[in-house]
Amino acid sequence: MKNSLRDVHYSLIFSVFLFLLFSYGALESSSFSKLAKFFPLYIAIAGVVLTLILVIVNIVKVVKEKEKKADQSGDQTGEKEGSNLKYMLWIIGYVFLIWLIGFLAATTLFLILFLHIESKFKTLYIALSLVLTHGVIFVFSNAINLYWPAGIFPLWPF
């Protein structure tokens, strides 16, 4: 399916947002001590490289879509208008929740809402997803001593 020009623009804006976010993460983590910066710095560098590639691909898509639009009158693609914007807002909302209530509480709330509203999961599958996700988070937390952001209004008791 083809993307509408509006969705391609939204995708480009979101790609630039991710690029800036990973760039900021790389800059911030470079000021950590040698051992503390290893994981976040390399994850941020990988994110910068991958999102830069994504930005370039999206710029090419925008140019191609504009050329197609100049050649043709607007065709219906059958794709939902604004679907990229909707998922951008989900991710931005998740990042905002992490800042507001902390990583663990935000992850729980995000998974419940997203899986129920977007994926139409049944309650049992949502519960299984939460258990699996928090299990993985717990293993990583204990294996490599990760401390998750608490947020400005922490709700999680651990």
What single-letter amino acid sits at 117?
A: I
Report the C-alpha gap between 118 and 67 in whole angstroms.
33
Burial 106-143 (b: 16+ CB within 10 A, else e): bbbebbbebbeeeeebeeeebeebeeeeeeeeeeeeee
Please report the pLDDT score of residue 128 as a whole number: 96
* Entry pTM: 0.59
Please report the pLDDT score of residue 82 as a whole number: 64
Please report the pLDDT score of residue 2 as a whole number: 53
Walk along the chain (158 residues) and give the pLDDT tens digit of each residue.
455 777 778 888 888 999 999 999 999 988 888 888 888 889 999 999 999 999 898 888 888 877 777 777 544 554 555 677 788 889 999 999 999 998 999 999 999 999 999 999 999 999 999 999 999 999 988 888 888 888 888 876 65
Nearest to 98 by CA among 36, 18, 155, 145: 155
Please report the pLDDT score of residue 143 as a whole number: 87
Please report the pLDDT score of residue 107 as a whole number: 94
Please report the pLDDT score of residue 1 as a whole number: 44
Please report the pLDDT score of residue 3 as a whole number: 56
